[in-house]
Structure 1
Amino acid sequence: MELMLTFCRGFVIPQFECSMQFLGSQHKKDMNAHGGGVEEINQDAARIHLFSWLNMSLANAWRLCVLPVLLAGVLAQGCRGPHEQEDINQQAQIVLKEMGAPLTRRCAAEKTSLEVRTLNLSKLMERGRAPDTLRVVYQVLRQFSKIYSMNLASVTWPRDKVESLRLLLDGQIRELEKCVSNPGSETRPQRSAAIHYYFRKLGKFLKRKRFSACAWEVTRAETRACFQQLPHVMARINAAN
């Protein structure tokens, strides 16, 4: 912070003083070149030039001073904990519900070819410490984000709801990145394998069904089932903390 203040004192203020000296000298040159008869015109031109130049110069310098301060404030927030996830998760569940009607009988029949049971988050997190549990949630949300980046051409959902879901997923992921010690690392091998196995099956199911509307409805039902488990998981993490 002290470095940024030093920069502002050392750069912004001298820039202003320098500009005033420069414009003063330019004004004198104009006076000598054109004579006193145009003094009033030159004064107006100098004032216009002054305001224009200062607006550009000081605006750029101001950004250089303020942007690091704002960025430092954002980064200082750090991990705001699972409490923040509860609100985002509730919004995501509402969006998933509003995307369409419950799973139809015809689409439910196709779920049998998914070849994997709904992900059981509570079982994955048995005997896990709070940081490990957060990492599981983080990995699951990342995988769902990848799923919803696949071919959505055949879905019947409102496009604004799809975009809202994507944004909420990204928001949850960004928040959790602040809470896990190393976002790029994997969870414990057994848990990681279970997560990857489930989403590999889900991805293959979508591809095998050629990303049909029913396949995506099954995927939405699976997503809702996982998201409905998250409040219980987050409550356990809060209790552990």
Structure 2
Amino acid sequence: MQDPNADTEWNDVLRAKGIIPPKEKEVSEEDIVNILETTIQNKTSGKSFEDMSLDELNEKEDDIDEEEERIFEEYRRQRMAEMKQAQLKARFGEVREISKVDYVTEVNKAGEGVWVVLHVYKQAIPLCKLINQHLSALAQKFPDVKFLKSVSSVCIPNYPDKNLPTLFVYYEGDLKKQYVGPMVFGGMNFKQDELEWMLSEVGVLKTELEAPPKQEIRDVMDSALRQSGRGDDDSDEDDW
């Protein structure tokens, strides 16, 4: 007897007339994957593993059979890795006050992949006080960045007040950028968004700002850095 599942013109005619049943559909690898995913979602009230929290995955562990165990473990490891990474990134979140003796620990040994922003200031200088306020807000917004501050007379003896405020930017212990003096910041109208943009240009943080808040601030900053220089070469600034 001829195989009813064979691909022949005669069988096609018989199938079309309903004399023999339709050919059984071959199950592909993709079909098997879809069936497995549907089964998993049915067992988890229609919620896929990738949308579940670590606690939800742990609750569903007893409902997982051997066929699904590998996928379950993979998603759970992924969730744990994501949580660990988030905890590492959110380890700062505030502006810490340091002295000169803290420099090696807090800056040089900040850790792999860590950006450090150090504000050298005097509280009596209004612009320094304003920048400290901006840094406090940015520290909460970007908790993966280490923000530090230190009084100039404590961290750099004889550091001239005309250079305040000063921001030093480090990455993995190396100095990457410095902003020195009030002209760089544009005075008391200096906004938090402007500081955020400046730091984003160095790579310290990833901002959602699409453009510099004030283009003229960039122009003033570039001009000041070109014309003023650091001056006071005999200061102890190199200690930092």
Q: Give the TM-score taking structure 2 as reference length.
A: 0.29
Counting helix residues as a fraction of each chain, which structure ranks higher? Answer: 1
Q: Specify the structure having the higher radius of gyration (Cα).
A: 2
